[in-house]
């Protein structure tokens, strides 16, 4: 037993790391949202979101429908964003300063720690490539409708569940920085189910831990034979 003490210790550490990672990526134990929980989340958001009351009402109605349709599975949120020429002004946005890009940068920097705490993380994000044609700048190669052109930034965020997304939007810290995003840009927020995607990171993490464990044991065994 003593000769394998290091292997046992390393195995225990890696197993604990894997379990911690699994729990981080599986908040709520895959429980589906109930109607009571959905209404409780909406109540925490009601009256605290920036923007016109009519816009808030439409958003909350769609969020309620989204929550009631919960299937307990991860959600991939497509954020297609278009910067305003200058900051938008409206209820709750009075204190936002700077350019639209600066305001959105403040928002994204502040929201990342909240995302990670909830087990969510960005899969991809970046500014769109500018395509100059006919003397104008565009972002869409195939669409000619202004409504689906001239996007400024694309972001795809993985949420381990719809519950995590509701937790984000009802978090007091998120509500403080939300005006920076809504004042900076208009956004298409599209939830997507996973059909084609990279392997689940939980299994990648588990495989990596197993590889480290086996490699460490093999190296130690080789060194013992040589000595």
Domain count, the chain: 2
| Domain co-membership, 39 together with 22 | no
| Domain co-membership, 47 together with 101 | yes
CA distance 163 to 33: 7
Q: pLDDT tens digit string along 72-123?
A: 888 999 999 999 999 999 999 999 999 999 999 999 999 999 999 999 999 8
Residue 28 has pLDDT above 60, yes or no: no
> In this structure, what CATH number is given to the domain that contains residue 174?
3.30.70.100
Q: pLDDT tens digit string along 197-226?
A: 666 677 788 888 888 888 888 788 778 777
Greater pLDDT, 14 or 185? 185
Task: Classify each residue of 58-85 as buried b or exposed e, where b means 16 or more C-beta atoms within 10 Å of its C-beta.
Answer: ebbeebeebbeebeeebbbbebbbbbee
Domain that holds residue 190: 33-196
Can you give the pLDDT at residue 4? 66
| Domain co-membership, 24 together with 116 | no
Greater pLDDT, 66 or 129? 66
Give the distance from CA 107 to its chain's centroid.
13
Q: Which of 152, 46, 141, 59 is nearest to 99 (CA)?
A: 152
Mean pLDDT of 42-52: 93
Neighbours of 151 (CB within 10 A): 19
| Domain co-membership, 192 together with 216 | no
User: For every residue of the chain, which 3-state class applies, written as one string?
Assistant: CHHHHHHHHHHHHHHHHHHHHHHHCCHHHHCCCCHHHHHHHHHHHCCCCCCCHHHHHHHHHHHHHHHHCCCCCCEEEEEEEEECCCCCCCCCCCCCCCCHHHHHHHHHHHHHHHHHHCCCEEEEEEECCCEEECCEEECCCCCCCHHHCCCCEEEEEEECCHHHHHHHHHCHHHHHHHHHHHHHEEEEEEEECCCCCCCCHHHHHHHHHHHHHHHHHHHHHHHHHHC
To the nearest whole percent, how much of the chain has pLDDT over 70? Answer: 90
| Domain co-membership, 110 together with 222 | no
| Domain co-membership, 166 together with 180 | yes
Can you give the pLDDT at residue 144? 72
């Amino acid at each position: 037993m003593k000769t394998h003490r290091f292997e046992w210790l390393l195995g225990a550490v890696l197993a604990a790391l894997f379990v911690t990672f699994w729990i981080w990526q599986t908040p709520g134990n895959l429980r589906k949202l109930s109607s009571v929980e959905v209404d409780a989340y909406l109540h925490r958001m009601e009256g605290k979101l920036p923007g016109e009351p009519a816009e808030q009402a439409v958003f909350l109605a769609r969020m309620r429908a989204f929550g009631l349709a919960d299937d307990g599975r991860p959600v991939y949120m497509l954020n297609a964003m278009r910067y305003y020429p200058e900051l938008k002004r409206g209820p709750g946005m009075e204190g936002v300063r700077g350019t639209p890009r600066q305001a959105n940068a403040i928002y994204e920097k502040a929201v990342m720690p909240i995302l990670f705490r909830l087990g969510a993380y960005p899969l991809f994000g970046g500014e769109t490539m500018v395509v100059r044609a006919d003397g104008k700048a565009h972002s869409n190669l195939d669409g000619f409708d202004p409504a689906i052109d001239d996007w400024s930034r694309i972001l795809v965020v993985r949420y381990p569940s719809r519950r995590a997304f509701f937790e984000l939007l009802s978090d007091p810290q998120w509500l403080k920085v939300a005006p920076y995003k809504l004042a900076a840009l208009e956004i298409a927020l599209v939830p997507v189910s996973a059909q084609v995607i990279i392997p689940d990171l939980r299994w990648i993490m588990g495989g990596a831990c197993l590889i480290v464990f086996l490699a460490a044991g093999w190296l130690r065994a080789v060194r013992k034979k040589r000595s």
